[in-house]
Amino acid sequence: MAEAKYSVGQKVRVMESYPVGHVRTPFYIRGHSGTIERICGSFPNPEELAQMRDGLPERPLYRVRFRQKEVWPDYRGTDADVIEVEIFQHWLEAA
Amino acid sequence: MNAREKLGKYRPLTYYQLMEVTLRELLVEKGLTSEAEVKAEVEAMRARTPERGARVVARAWIDPEYRKRLLQDGTRACEELGLEIPQLKLVVVENTRDTHNVIVCTLCSCYPRVLLGIPPDWYKSRNYRSRMVREPRKVLSEFGLRLPRNISVRVHDSTADMRYLVLPMRPAGTEGWSEQRLAKLVNRNSMIGVALPDVPAAKKKPKSAKTRAR
């Protein structure tokens, strides 16, 4: 299992990057900051798997919690509403 | 209508049907699979129904220790009940008095098939996938679930290797019920998070618990 760089509760930012190819980081969450909710383990890199490669070494995967009001400036729910997204470590940076 | 017409009119295959047939025949021809294997897989897929998920939920309702294990490691807790979760990790998220969970997959249509069977068409629709993350309360209200603002909404976008199951709250008025009886209240939509479990028949259904016809 690859080493997880971030710990639960830590603040992280999703990179604002737009590479071509198969990517499992939704567009709407790129560039947004949230906190690590849990570490899911390590998994083969889907961006490599999509190119018919083995996806190794495995990459740590996190569930990151974002405040909806931070993600959508015009969000009409409450301040406590959140969205959680699975993000691979190579898409995160410390915030 | 003559006998022949009763059999249905001939329609050419659609693009994806043609692709499926072509790929399947090629794989069989090359000996990578067989028609029997494909048929067995389709039948196994059809055999998986939301009753599997309902068993897990009902067990968690009656057994607090099981509930703890389920929230900690969903995959292993399902295996305890003899439900194999191949090749993925199951994360169970719990509804409480102040948090409501709902599941979506914005990138494709990831779904806990092994527990809920084949996903409903709306789950795969662009409408649900794009709007559930952006205006969850509005989408939930379209399902008949109006959440008061003192309950926070937690949306789970199933983007990678996890699959999610919502553990709904046990309905009031079910004290002392058996696991089997409780499982009958657990409808599919309540495990996706767009509805609440059915309410015991004796009581009148509150408006907020109304679910869209399955």
For residue B1, being part of any structural domain is answered with: no
Q: Reduce the DSSP state of residue B68 to 3 states and report it.
A: helix
Structure letter (DSSP) for residue B14? P
Tokens found for residue B147: 């959440």
Determine, yes or no, domain membership for B6: no
Q: Which of B156, B157, B162 sits opposite A26 (nearest CB)?
A: B157
- Sorted by sequence, the CB contacts under 8 Å of residue B163 that are 6+ apart come out as B85, B88, B89, B90, B91, B110, B111, B112, B114
Beta carbons of B161 and A40 less than 8 Å apart: yes
CA angle B196, B208, B61 (to 5 degrees): 25
**Spatial CA neighbour of B101 closest among B22, B29, B185, B191:** B191
Q: What is the pLDDT of residue B108?
A: 87
Q: A61 to chain B: which residues are within 8 Å by CB?
A: 160-162
- In this structure, the answer to whether residues B26 and B93 fall within a common structural domain is no
B39 and B74 inside one domain: no
Q: Which residues pair with A64 in a beta bridge?
A: A36, A85
| B-chain residues near A2 (CB < 8 A) | none
pLDDT digit string (tens) for A37-71?
999 999 999 888 888 899 899 999 999 999 999 99
Write out residues in chain B with pLDDT < 70, as ranges.
1, 3-5, 87, 202-214
What's the complex ipTM? 0.94
Considering only residues A80 and B109, tell me which one the structure prediction assigns the higher pLDDT: A80
- One domain for residues B155 and B175: yes
Nearest CA in chain A to B91: A40
Residues B77 and B137 in one domain: yes
Same domain, B138 and B164: yes
Candidate from B91, B136, B159 with C-beta closest to A26 = B159
Residue A4 makes CB contacts below 8 A (sequence gap 6+) with: A39, A42, A60, A62, A89
Q: Domain ranges in chain A?
A: 11-94
Domain count, chain B: 2
In CATH, the architecture of A11-94 is Roll (2.30)
The CA-atom distances, in angstroms, between A60 and each of A9, A44, B49, B107 are: 16, 9, 32, 20
In this prediction the pTM is 0.86
Would B2 be classed as within a structural domain?
A: no
Residues B70 and B37 in one domain: no
Q: Which of B106, B137, B162 sits opposite A26 (nearest CB)?
A: B106
Per-residue confidence (pLDDT) for residue B7, from 0 to 100: 73
Residues B64 and B140 in one domain: yes
Beta carbons of B154 and B93 less than 8 angstroms apart: yes
Q: pLDDT-derived band of residue A1, with 50, 70 and 90 as boundaries? A: low
Match 């994806």 to its residue by tokens: B16
Asked whether residue B42 falls in the same domain as residue B80, the answer is no
| Orientation angle between helical segments B15-29 and B35-47, nearest 10 degrees | 130
| Whether residue B26 sits in one domain with residue B81 | no
Angstrom distance (rounded) from CA B89 to CA A64: 16
> Do B164 and B187 lie in a common domain?
yes
> B160: domain range?
49-209
Other Cβ atoms closer than 10 A to A62: 29
In the chain, the amino acid numbered A68 is Q
Residue of chain B nearest A23, judged by CA positions: B107
Same domain, B73 and B108: yes
Maximum Cα–Cα distance for chain A, whole Å? Answer: 43
